[in-house]
Amino acid sequence: MNDPVDVLRRFHDAVNAQDFVAIEGFFADDATYGSIKVGALQGKPAILAAFRKYFSEYPDQVAHDDSFEKLSEASARSSWHLDATSATTGEKLIRKGQETIFLNADGKIARVDVEDA
Protein backbone atom coordinates (compact mmCIF):
# COMPACT_ATOMS: atom_id res chain seq x y z
CA MET A 1 0.00 0.00 0.00
CA ASN A 2 1.19 3.50 -0.79
CA ASP A 3 1.92 5.82 2.13
CA PRO A 4 -1.15 8.10 2.21
CA VAL A 5 0.86 11.14 3.37
CA ASP A 6 3.22 10.73 0.41
CA VAL A 7 0.25 10.39 -1.96
CA LEU A 8 -1.34 13.53 -0.50
CA ARG A 9 1.91 15.52 -0.81
CA ARG A 10 2.41 14.45 -4.42
CA PHE A 11 -1.26 15.10 -5.23
CA HIS A 12 -0.98 18.63 -3.85
CA ASP A 13 2.23 19.19 -5.84
CA ALA A 14 0.33 18.20 -9.00
CA VAL A 15 -2.56 20.50 -8.10
CA ASN A 16 -0.21 23.44 -7.46
CA ALA A 17 1.45 22.78 -10.82
CA GLN A 18 -1.99 22.52 -12.46
CA ASP A 19 -0.77 19.28 -14.01
CA PHE A 20 -4.13 17.81 -14.99
CA VAL A 21 -2.62 14.62 -16.40
CA ALA A 22 -0.92 13.94 -13.08
CA ILE A 23 -4.03 14.94 -11.10
CA GLU A 24 -6.12 12.48 -13.12
CA GLY A 25 -3.63 9.71 -12.39
CA PHE A 26 -4.16 10.00 -8.65
CA PHE A 27 -7.89 9.25 -8.77
CA ALA A 28 -9.78 5.97 -8.95
CA ASP A 29 -12.36 5.94 -11.74
CA ASP A 30 -15.24 5.95 -9.23
CA ALA A 31 -13.71 8.47 -6.81
CA THR A 32 -15.79 10.99 -4.91
CA TYR A 33 -14.85 14.55 -4.00
CA GLY A 34 -16.74 16.63 -1.50
CA SER A 35 -16.27 20.33 -0.77
CA ILE A 36 -18.58 23.14 0.27
CA LYS A 37 -17.22 25.11 -2.70
CA VAL A 38 -17.91 22.47 -5.40
CA GLY A 39 -20.46 20.20 -3.76
CA ALA A 40 -20.38 16.44 -4.11
CA LEU A 41 -18.66 15.13 -7.21
CA GLN A 42 -18.82 11.52 -8.38
CA GLY A 43 -16.30 9.97 -10.77
CA LYS A 44 -12.97 11.00 -12.19
CA PRO A 45 -14.42 12.96 -15.18
CA ALA A 46 -16.55 15.18 -12.91
CA ILE A 47 -13.64 15.77 -10.55
CA LEU A 48 -11.27 16.72 -13.37
CA ALA A 49 -13.88 19.01 -14.94
CA ALA A 50 -14.24 20.81 -11.59
CA PHE A 51 -10.46 21.24 -11.29
CA ARG A 52 -10.26 22.65 -14.82
CA LYS A 53 -13.17 25.04 -14.19
CA TYR A 54 -11.69 26.20 -10.89
CA PHE A 55 -8.25 26.89 -12.35
CA SER A 56 -9.71 28.73 -15.33
CA GLU A 57 -11.31 31.09 -12.78
CA TYR A 58 -8.33 31.14 -10.35
CA PRO A 59 -5.24 30.57 -12.51
CA ASP A 60 -2.82 32.16 -10.04
CA GLN A 61 -3.76 30.05 -7.01
CA VAL A 62 -0.96 29.33 -4.59
CA ALA A 63 -1.72 26.72 -1.93
CA HIS A 64 0.45 25.79 1.02
CA ASP A 65 0.23 22.75 3.27
CA ASP A 66 0.67 23.68 6.92
CA SER A 67 0.72 20.10 8.20
CA PHE A 68 0.14 16.48 7.27
CA GLU A 69 -1.26 13.70 9.43
CA LYS A 70 -1.47 10.00 8.69
CA LEU A 71 -4.88 8.82 9.91
CA SER A 72 -4.63 5.17 8.87
CA GLU A 73 -2.81 2.95 6.39
CA ALA A 74 -5.20 4.28 3.72
CA SER A 75 -5.96 7.85 4.76
CA ALA A 76 -4.22 11.15 5.47
CA ARG A 77 -5.18 14.74 6.22
CA SER A 78 -3.55 18.05 5.48
CA SER A 79 -4.22 21.48 6.89
CA TRP A 80 -3.75 24.10 4.18
CA HIS A 81 -4.20 27.72 3.22
CA LEU A 82 -4.39 29.35 -0.20
CA ASP A 83 -4.88 32.60 -1.97
CA ALA A 84 -5.92 33.30 -5.52
CA THR A 85 -7.43 36.00 -7.71
CA SER A 86 -10.62 35.63 -9.73
CA ALA A 87 -9.93 35.99 -13.45
CA THR A 88 -13.48 37.30 -13.89
CA THR A 89 -13.78 39.87 -11.11
CA GLY A 90 -10.23 40.45 -9.88
CA GLU A 91 -11.46 39.66 -6.38
CA LYS A 92 -9.03 37.95 -3.98
CA LEU A 93 -9.90 34.52 -2.63
CA ILE A 94 -8.34 33.52 0.68
CA ARG A 95 -9.19 30.12 2.15
CA LYS A 96 -7.91 27.71 4.73
CA GLY A 97 -9.07 24.32 5.83
CA GLN A 98 -8.39 20.62 5.89
CA GLU A 99 -8.41 17.96 3.20
CA THR A 100 -8.66 14.26 3.91
CA ILE A 101 -7.95 11.58 1.30
CA PHE A 102 -8.87 7.91 1.42
CA LEU A 103 -7.01 5.43 -0.79
CA ASN A 104 -8.43 2.27 -2.32
CA ALA A 105 -6.61 -1.08 -2.40
CA ASP A 106 -4.78 0.04 -5.57
CA GLY A 107 -3.38 3.12 -3.84
CA LYS A 108 -5.58 5.50 -5.85
CA ILE A 109 -7.61 8.27 -4.23
CA ALA A 110 -11.11 6.91 -3.72
CA ARG A 111 -12.48 9.84 -1.72
CA VAL A 112 -11.54 13.43 -0.92
CA ASP A 113 -13.25 15.44 1.82
CA VAL A 114 -12.48 19.17 1.94
CA GLU A 115 -13.53 21.29 4.91
CA ASP A 116 -13.03 25.02 5.12
CA ALA A 117 -11.88 26.34 8.49
pLDDT in tens, 3-15: 999 999 999 999 9
Answer yes or no: are the C-beta atoms of 96 and 83 closer than 8 Å. Answer: no
* Top CATH class, 4-116: alpha beta
The pTM for the full model equals 0.94
What's the pLDDT tens digit per position in 68-81? 999 999 999 999 99
HSE-CB at 40 with a 13 A cutoff on CA atoms is 1
